[in-house]
Amino acid sequence: MEKNEILDADNEVDLFCLNFTCMDLLKRHMKYFQNTWNCHPVHTERNMTPEMLFEGGLLALQQQQDDKNLENQEDFTELYQNFDDHEDWPPDAMVVNEPGGEMERIRQGLLQKDVASVINPLNASEMKELTETICNPQQMEIPNLVKKYIAVKNFVHLCLE
C-alpha cells in the first residue's frame, strides 16, 4: 500500500486506519498460527505435540512430587529444564528460563522498545458509525483489506473536516 501511495506510514490518520482495519485480522491469524504450532506432531518426540509434551512433563513432576521422590521438596510452578547431564545436547543451546541468560536479555530488550501508540481521532459516535456502516474489524478478511482500508480512511477524513 505504501508503494501504491495508499498508505503514508508517517501519517497518524493512516496508521489509525491501518490499525483499525488490520489488528483483529492479525490477531486472528496469530492465534491460528499459535494453535497450529502447539498442536503439530513433533517427529523426534514420537509424534507428540508440544502441548502433549508440556502437559506430560507437568504430570510427571506432579507424580514425583506426590511420591515424595524429590530431593528438594519445593512445589513446582513451572518446568525447569537442565540439560547439563545430556551428552547429545548441543553445546550452544540456550536454557530459556536461565536468569540473566541471553533469552532474558532479548526479552527485556523487546519490552523496552518504544512502540508508538495509535491515536484515535474519532469520537465514540463516529467510531460506532464506522464499525456499523463502513467496516467491522472483526469480520475483516484479506481479500477486501485494501478496499476496506481506503473506505475507512475516506470516512475518517470526512469526520475530521
42-60 pLDDT, tens digit per residue, is 888 888 888 888 888 777 7
Cell numbers standing for residue 63: 507424580
Long-range interactions of 141-145: CB distance < 8 A, separation 24+:
141/25, 142/25, 145/21, 145/22, 145/25
pLDDT score for 93? 47
Q: How confident is the model at residue 68 (pLDDT cuts 50, 70, 90)?
A: low
Asked, for residue 1, whether it belongs to a domain, the answer is no
* Cβ–Cβ < 8 Å for 9, 15: yes
Asked, for residue 6, whether it belongs to a domain, the answer is no
In the chain, the number of structural domains is 1
Asked, for residue 43, whether it belongs to a domain, the answer is yes
* Cβ–Cβ < 8 Å for 149, 17: yes
Asked, for residue 100, whether it belongs to a domain, the answer is yes
Asked, for residue 3, whether it belongs to a domain, the answer is no
Q: Which domain holds residue 16?
A: 12-160
**First CA to last CA distance, the chain:** 24
- For the chain, helix (H) and strand (E) counts, in that order, are 5, 0
Cell numbers standing for residue 132: 456499523
Can you state the angle between helices 50-67 and 12-38, rounded to 10 degrees?
Answer: 60
Question: pLDDT tens, 98-127?
Answer: 556 665 666 666 666 655 678 899 999 999
Closest by CA position to 55, among listed 63, 37, 34, 93: 63
pLDDT score for 160? 93
Asked, for residue 5, whether it belongs to a domain, the answer is no
Asked, for residue 7, whether it belongs to a domain, the answer is no
Q: In whole numbers, what is the pLDDT of the chain averaged over residues? A: 79
Does the pLDDT of residue 86 top 70, yes or no? no
Does the pLDDT of residue 94 top 90, yes or no? no
